[in-house]
Structure 1
Amino acid sequence: MPELVVPTVGLHGAWLDAHDEWGPGVHEDGFGLRPSDEVRSPDGFAAWVRRLTGQADPATPLDAGQAPCTHRWIVEDDRVLGGIALRHELHVAGHIGYGIRPSARRRGLATWALGRMLGEARTLGLDRVLIVCAADNVASARTIERHRGVLEDVRDTELGPARRYWVSL
């Protein structure tokens, strides 16, 4: 049974396995990974995990350009299957971003994790959230629609056309 867990250094090897499955680059939505993050070494990974967990802690000062955000990893049997992030404030990429590693797709994990994070959004006091996905990402669009996402529009972005959905909480 999958669970949402707070990012932890204890899953370094499992996270790297998921990262390697995605292939080169920084494109795992929901992980908060930046091009400057060095995640291969234990020290670099620990620094990245500290940044992620600090973004959810109101007592932790944020770096310039950072906004409050709750990160969770989707884990099953000590395997990192994906990640999901809830941005506490409206962001151009929406409030919630998520990604599932290729070998774990088509199991309903994104739908399950999104439902859990919508609950977290309610706890934060949000009354609706924006979720954005690539216009051609039919699986993600269906995931959002399963949670009563209402399509606002499709817009051109720097990453290409994107669907913008609002989910009322």
Structure 2
Amino acid sequence: MTDAVPHLIAPAARLHAAWLDAHAEWGPGRHEDGFGLLASDEVRSPGGFSAWVARLVADASCRYRWIVEADVVLGGIALRHGSGEFVRRAGHIGYGIRPAARGRGLGTWALGEMLAEAARLGMDHVVLVCAATNTASAKTIERQGGILEGVGGTPRGAVRRYRVSFAVEA
């Protein structure tokens, strides 16, 4: 029996076909933020996919989760730890919802879950970044308490930079 409600799960090799279906819906490229997909990842074959999933699960610098409903991959979200160059550029959390699943509040829900996880891990804040033209993502971040720190240019275009701070218990 499968659940017809969304869940956040660790990447799973058993969802190879479901992930490929989501990937195909996005179209060519590596633009599904939240999945940790690199140009060098070979995800078409079962062995390549399993190797990619194993890399994601073993990555101590990031906590990857897939948004899954009834074994359908709806999106991905990643919580990056630390303050390295990539986090400064891309933020602590990246996420993407496949086109057919957008407009259901999944991004807002998943972001809320990962913000709670960040707080449980003892992070005092997270930085989130989205394209300046991505009003849907900006609204998602703002619904979860994101405070706009500014809009600036990058080699990839203008981005909005947000911060979510967590209350520190005394």
Q: TM-score, normalization: structure 1?
A: 0.92
* Deviation of 1:148 (Å): 1.1
Query: How many residues were matched structurally?
Result: 158
Equivalent position SS for 1:136 = coil
1:168 aligned residue = 165
Shift of 1:44: 0.5
* Contact 1:71-1:84 within 8 A present in 2 as well: yes
SS of residue matched to 1:72: strand
User: For 1:48-96, what per-residue CA distance to the aligned partner results, in whole angstroms no more than 9, with x for missing partners?
Assistant: 001100014xxxxxxxxxxx00000000011000000000113120000
Task: Tell me if 1:78 matches 2:71.
Answer: yes
Match of 2:143 in 1: 146
Structure 1 unaligned regions, length at least 5: 57-67
Matched, 1:89 2:82: yes
> Would you say 1:128 and 2:132 are equivalent positions?
no
1:17 is aligned, of 9, 14, 21, to 21
2:12 maps to which residue?
8
Residue 157 of structure 1 is matched in structure 2 by 154
Q: CA deviation at 1:123?
A: 1.6
2-side partners of 1:120 and 1:6: how far apart? 13
**Partner-residue secondary structure (3-state), 2:90:** coil
Map of 1:61 onto structure 2: none
AA partner of residue 123 (structure 1): R
**Corresponding residue SS for 2:49:** helix
Partner of 2:115: 118
Residue 69 of structure 1, aligned match among 62, 65, 69: 62
In the alignment, the residues of structure 2 paired with residue 21 and residue 72 of structure 1 have an alpha-carbon distance, to the nearest angstrom, of 19
Per-residue deviation, 1:158:
2.1
Q: Find the residue that maps to 1:122 and give its secondary structure.
A: helix
- Structure 1 stretches of 4+ with a deviation exceeding 4 A read none
Determine the C-alpha separation between the residues in 2 that align with 1:157 and 1:79: 34
**Distance in 2 between residues matched to 1:76 and 1:153, nearest whole Å:** 35
- The answer to whether the 8 A contact 1:88-1:124 is kept is no
Deviation at 1:155, TM superposition (A): 1.2
Distance 1:158 1:94 in 2: 16
